[in-house]
Amino acid sequence: MHILGIACFYHDSSAAILKDGKITAAAQEERWTRKKHDTSFPINAIKYCLREAGITIKEVDCVAFYEKPLLKFERLLSSHIEMFPKSLGTFTKALPSWAIEKLRIPSILSKKLGYKGELLYIEHHMTHAAGSFLASPFSEAAILTVDGVGEWATTTLGTGKDNNITLLKEIHFPNSIGLLYSMVTGYLGFKVNNDEYKVMGLAPYGKPTYYEQMKKIIDIKQDGSYRLDMSYFAFHYKERMHNRKFEQLFGPPRKKEGEVEERHKDVAASLQKILEETYFKMLNHLYELSGGMKNLCISGGVALNSVANGKITKQTKFRNVYVSPAPSDAGSSAGAAIAAWNMALGKKERSRMQTAYLGPSYDEAYIENFLTEKGIKYVKLTETELIRKAAKLLRENNVVGWFSGRMEFGERALGARSILANPCNPEMKDILNLKVKHREKFRPFAPVVPLEDAKKYFDCDLEVPFMSFVYPVKEKMRQKLPAITHIDGTGRLQTITKEQNPRYYKLIKEFEKLSGIPILVNTSFNIRGEPIVMTPEHAYRCFTGTEIDYLALENFLIDRKENTKDWWDSEKLAKD
Amino acid sequence: MIKILSAPLNAFIKFGKKVGEFNSKVLLTAVYITAIGITAIIAKAARKHFLELKIQPEKQSYWINREQKQTTMEEFKRSF
């Protein structure tokens, strides 16, 4: 039995396919269209999923959609009625897309795919809960979903047992901790629904001196429930997120690409403090509500706040935490398909998402043909030779583009489409930020470490294969690892085992033989504003337009010095 | 010949799109004022609120309890 999950028309469109309850393929549409957070119907991702499953659309038994569009439309109309006449501008702008596509899912499926079969609509926060709990290794767990907004819900608490989920409590739009975070992201001159992680990265540079002002705009109860004072916000009736009253309280907003002042860092720090306060109060309430369950599954865009996630076991009584590789809306296609399988169809077998490597791969023949056709100079090596050579290059402070196996599903590069570098080099952060990624200086880089070595270098208590948790770097190790140690002495960790990605694991171990350190800098293979690369063509284009020194396309090693012709000027194209 | 015609054709398509946008704006503004506006006036007169816009310090909790029932297949098939 095949179930196709689809998420689209808001942000991060994606598709996923389940074969007899097992997830066999999943990917975001942005990787094909090259538009970051692409919202369009994921036709390319769907075609890929069908190809990977070896079927045509006729063999799909059921399509699961990641929200209930009419409920969402009801929320939209309710907002317009409540905010009349202020919301005229957004009404005339938003309504055509509802008439053309958002309310016409069956006809779009029929027109674009020729699909006229069973269509199930899964409540948005249920897709988050299902993509988290039902994909987790736990047989029972407490569940928290937090994002900007679904239909009405912005936050839900629930529990999961075996193949079932019960959502118990929720908070409704416009009260949303996710939208509060996005609003401040916009206020700080970053892009809403895109750059929230930058605010999280900026926060440790500041002091939470705006905490009291923050408390004026959000009322947080002891049980973690909260409400926003909407007189400071504009997102419920305008395209702008905040209003003048907010600026009177916090000062003028930062202009896009403007200088990051101390005040901006302090606002970011205050926001992060408010988020964590709400998060841990909610989680402590959830712990009581669940009857003391020790396992926790979190999902929704806010679950990407890896700084808060890293403190969960210290701030709450939860002992095991699962965050899927795609906790935001990108993962909702998989969540919808899983919910359809377990909850709508009542199947008992669970689809545990133990790997993020669910995207396309390219075989040697394809890559060799591409390289030859384009006249690119390369060396073909065996896997062992490549690993030895790449480790040596990394030890010599070269930046290596690492393209290997199936692409990751979700927001993170986890060793399939990664840029790797030496974490011991104090200059490496600047080299990567300015020469390769063309991004802001304040942003940190993430480390990858074999699971068995993680505790030697980090104060961590969980296995973190999907890079969803930030942990302190051990104090005595910080000087040895300047490229991955953030200003507050932390790092957003990925642990790796031989089973999860043997090739990647071997490379890190080989690097350890040369440097004594079993850690690499791992950053996504893209430049700022571009989706992560998917094909060898994307990878080579990014490689030539940046100052990446070597590119490993599977077992083909390409030296930048021998291929000096740039395909594009990535610095000019780097944008948010 | 095709090259000569393509420029005015593109301009005509552009013009058509602009007219379409303008028309839909006018129509939607009319819908907004009549349908949304009248409903909003009635709702305000009846003191009915669709969104919670203010904090309530006296409240103990803002959580909304969800109705607990088994979702049926028919409900999964509904877009609401």
Chain A's closest residue to B32, CA to CA, is A88
A107 touches chain B (CB under 8 A): no
Predicted confidence at residue B74, as pLDDT, reads 94
Is A526's pLDDT higher than 90? yes
Instruction: Give whole-number Cα distances, A220 to A33, A107, A172, A179, A183, in Å.
Output: 41, 43, 14, 15, 18
Partner-chain contact A227 B62, CB within 8 Å: yes
The confidence score (pLDDT) of residue A529 equals: 83
Return the residue of A nearest to B47 by Cα: A82
Is residue B62 within 8 angstroms of chain A, CB to CB? yes
Contact B68 A171 (CB under 8 A): no
Q: Give me the half-sphere count of Cα atoms (radius 13 Å) on the Cβ side of residue A191.
A: 10
pLDDT for A99 equals: 86
Q: Radius of gyration (Cα) for chain B, nearest Å?
A: 25
Out of A96, A121, A236, the one facing B51 most closely (by C-beta) is A236
Q: What integer best gives the mean pLDDT of chain A?
A: 95
Of A81, A88, A221, the CB nearest to B61: A221
Whether B63 and A174 lie within 8 Å, measured CB to CB: no
Looking at the DSSP bridge assignments, the partners of residue A233 are: A242
Per-residue pLDDT at A55: 97
A18/A341 Cα distance (integer angstroms): 8
Whether the domain at A2-135+327-344 and the domain at A172-322 fall into the same CATH topology: yes
CATH topology of domain A364-573: DHBP synthase (3.90.870)
0.90 exceeded by the pTM?
yes
Above 90 in pLDDT, residue A66? yes
Given the structure tokens 């030539």, which residue do they identify? A544
| CA–CA distance, A187 with A266 (Å, rounded to integer) | 13
pLDDT of residue A433: 87
DSSP, res A346: -
Residues 332-361 of A with CB under 8 A from B: 340, 343-344
The whole-number average pLDDT for the span A45-65 is 98
Residue A572's pLDDT band, with cuts at 50, 70 and 90, is: low
Q: How far apart are CA A271 and CA A277, in angstroms?
A: 10
- Reply yes or no on whether the pLDDT at A62 is more than 60: yes
Question: How many CB pairs (< 8 A) connect A and B?
Answer: 125
Model confidence band, residue A437 (pLDDT cutoffs 50, 70, 90): confident
Residue A574 has pLDDT above 60, yes or no: no
pLDDT tens-place string over residues A465-492: 999 999 999 999 999 999 999 999 999 9
pLDDT of residue A146: 98
Beta bridge partners of A357: A408
Dihedrals φ, ψ of A386, to 5°?
Answer: -65, -45
C-alpha–C-alpha distance, residues A235 and A145, integer Å: 21
**Portion of chain A with pLDDT greater than 90, in percent:** 91
The domains of chain A are located at: 2-135+327-344, 172-322, 364-573
Residues with Cβ within 8 Å of residue A432, at least 6 apart in sequence: A399, A419, A421, A445, A483, A521, A523
| Tens digit of each residue's pLDDT (9 = 90 or more) over A3-15 | 999 999 998 999 9
Nearest CA in chain A to B27: A92
Angle CA A195–A199–A202, to nearest 5: 130
Taking the C-alpha atoms of residue A512 and residue A468, their distance in angstroms, rounded to an integer, is: 24
How far apart CA A281 and CA A277 sit, in angstroms, is 6
Report the pLDDT averaged over residues A274-294.
98
How large is the average pLDDT for residues A340-345?
97
**Residue A573: pLDDT over 80:** no
Which stretches does DSSP call E strand in A69-186? 118-121, 140-146, 153-161, 164-172
pLDDT reading at A566 higher than 80: no
Determine the pLDDT at residue A156.
98
Q: Does A95 touch chain B (CB under 8 A)?
A: yes
Instruction: Give the one of A68, A340, A343 whose C-beta lies nearest to B80's C-beta.
Output: A68
Of the candidates A2, A135, A11, A16, the one whose C-alpha atom is nearest the C-alpha of residue A65 is A16
Tokens of A353: 């998402």
The answer to whether A216 and A161 have CB atoms below 8 angstroms apart is no
Query: What residue ranges do the domains of chain B occupy?
Result: 2-59
- Whether A286 shows a pLDDT value over 90: the answer reads yes
- The string of pLDDT tens digits covering residues B27-63 is 999 999 999 999 999 999 999 999 999 999 999 999 9
Closest CA to A464 of A439, A490, A434: A490
Q: How far is A221 from chain B (nearest CA, A)?
A: 6
Q: In whole angstroms, what is the distance from residue A383 CA to residue A147 CA?
A: 42
Instruction: Give the closest of B56, B66, B76 to A344, CB-based.
Output: B76
List pLDDT tens digits, range A148-203.
Answer: 999 999 999 999 999 999 999 999 999 999 999 999 999 999 999 989 999 999 99
pLDDT bucket at A567, cuts 50 / 70 / 90: low
Q: Which of residues 201-220 of A touch B (CB under 8 A)?
A: 218-219
For residue B15, the surrounding DSSP H or E stretch is helix B2-31
Out of A92, A167, A344, the one facing B28 most closely (by C-beta) is A92
CB-based contact, B39 to chain A, within 8 Å: yes
Nearest CA among A31, A9, A3 for reference residue A108: A9
Q: Does domain A172-322 have CATH number 3.40.50.170?
A: no
Question: What average pLDDT does this structure show over A135-146?
Answer: 98
pLDDT at residue number A167: 97
Q: What sections of A290-378 are H helices per DSSP?
A: 306-309, 312-315, 332-339, 364-373
Q: How far is B59 from chain A (nearest CA, A)?
A: 9
Does A462 have pLDDT greater than 70? yes
% of chain A surpassing 70 pLDDT? 98
What residues contact residue A459 under an 8 Å CB cut-off, 6+ apart?
A: A471, A472, A473, A474
Amino acid occupying residue A385? E
DSSP category for residue B72 = P
pLDDT at A575: 54
Q: What are phi and psi of B59, to 5 degrees?
A: -70, 145
CB atoms within 10 A of CB A91: 21
CATH topology of domain A2-135+327-344: Nucleotidyltransferase; domain 5 (3.30.420)
ipTM of this predicted structure: 0.91
pLDDT at A439: 85
> Three-state secondary structure along A457-509?
HECCCCCCCCCCEEEEECHHHCCCCCCCCCCCCEEEEEEECCCCCHHHHHHHH
